[in-house]
């Protein structure tokens, strides 16, 4: 099985490389290897590798910047995905595409199921939803949320830096979802690939959290591991207290029951995976 992975230098791309099964003949590319906004270059790359499966872990993820840079966000999150889908269909292969909880508007009274109606609130969310629509019926779509990984650019590492620098922090409490450790997401993706799955699936870690809850846990776990000397005061604030260019869903918990049932495993609580990530972060130095 020959597998092409895009976004190789990102958090998920790196995790996919580390967790790849021995049966996978893996080719991983990053932005320096192929400009996804260049259709000819993208088609040439896919033709050269000739993969059976293409896992697209690349995305434009600058949520606020996308509000003023929609053309680039759309080129990567929508148009490039469409080209990948066409190329893989012509080869008789499968596109595995990773999307986001931001395709939902946050008004659901329960965790979002894979087939729930999408209603994105931001440019980022709309371009990701439009990218989803480019997939074929035999392709695989995996939505996730709040992704982080040791060594990456993410909320956890931002909090660690701020906790070392400041005596107090203010973190939003009225946006609810679930953090996702990229390594666990990668293992789920490989599991779905092995199962030959098609259609839409969700993956996030077990449990529920606000960004405030997540920040408090980061402080407690990081202090216990010696990554920070003391936990600063962390104050809960509302979304209206911290305005951003892009609107975010107030509630974006994902229902992952179909994923877990197919794979025959159980979700790991986000706090347990946070602890694993922080231990890996400590090893990085």
Whole-angstrom distance, CA of residue 40 vs CA of residue 261: 40
DSSP character string of 134-156: T--TTSEEEEE-SEE-TTSSSHH
Judge residue 159's burial from the number of C-beta atoms within 10 Å of its C-beta, 0-12 exposed, 13-18 middle, 19 or more buried: buried
Whole-angstrom distance, CA of residue 252 vs CA of residue 229: 33
Token couple for 248: 């975010």
Token couple for 104: 């939902």
Tokens 């259609």 — which residue? Answer: 199
Percent helix, strand, coil in the chain (nearest 5)?
Answer: 45, 20, 40
Contact 256, 202 (CB under 8 A): yes
Under DSSP, the state recorded for 118 is P
Token couple for 110: 């329960």
Task: Give how far Cα 212 sits from Cα of 15, 83, 183, Å.
Answer: 26, 39, 23
In the residue annotation, 148 being an active-site residue is answered as: no
Token couple for 54: 């293409």
User: Computed from CA positions of residues 274, 276, 278, 281, in that sequence, does the dihedral angle turn out positive or negative?
Assistant: negative
Whole-angstrom distance, CA of residue 16 vs CA of residue 24: 11
Catalytic site residue from 60, 112, 124, 148: 124
Contact 109, 168 (CB under 8 A): no
Active site residues: 124
């Amino acid at each position: 099985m020959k597998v092409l992975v895009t976004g190789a230098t990102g958090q998920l791309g790196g995790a996919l490389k580390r967790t790849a099964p021995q049966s996978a003949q893996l080719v991983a590319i990053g932005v320096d290897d192929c400009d996804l906004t260049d259709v000819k270059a993208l088609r040439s790359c896919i033709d050269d590798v000739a993969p059976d499966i293409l896992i697209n872990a690349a995305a434009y993820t600058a949520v606020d910047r996308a509000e003023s840079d929609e053309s680039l966000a759309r080129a990567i999150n929508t148009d490039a995905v469409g080209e990948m889908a066409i190329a893989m269909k012509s080869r008789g292969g499968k596109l595995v595409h990773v999307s986001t909880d931001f395709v939902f508007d946050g008004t659901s009274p329960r965790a979002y199921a894979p087939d729930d109606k999408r209603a994105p609130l931001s440019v980022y969310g709309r371009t990701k939803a439009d990218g989803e629509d480019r997939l074929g019926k035999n392709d695989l779509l995996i939505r996730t949320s709040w992704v982080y990984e040791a060594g990456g650019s993410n909320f956890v590492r931002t909090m660690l830096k701020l906790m070392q620098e400041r005596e107090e922090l203010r973190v939003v409490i009225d946006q609810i979802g679930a953090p996702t450790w990229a390594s666990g997401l990668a293992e789920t993706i490989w599991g779905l690939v092995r199962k030959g799955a098609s259609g839409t699936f969700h993956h996030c870690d077990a449990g529920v959290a606000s960004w405030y809850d997540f920040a408090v846990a980061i402080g407690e776990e990081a202090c216990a591991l010696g990554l920070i000397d003391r936990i600063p005061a962390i104050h809960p604030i509302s979304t209206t207290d911290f305005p951003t260019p892009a609107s975010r869903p107030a509630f974006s918990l994902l229902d992952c029951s179909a994923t877990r049932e197919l794979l025959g495993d159980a979700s790991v609580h986000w706090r347990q995976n946070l602890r694993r990530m922080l231990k890996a972060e400590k090893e990085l130095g």
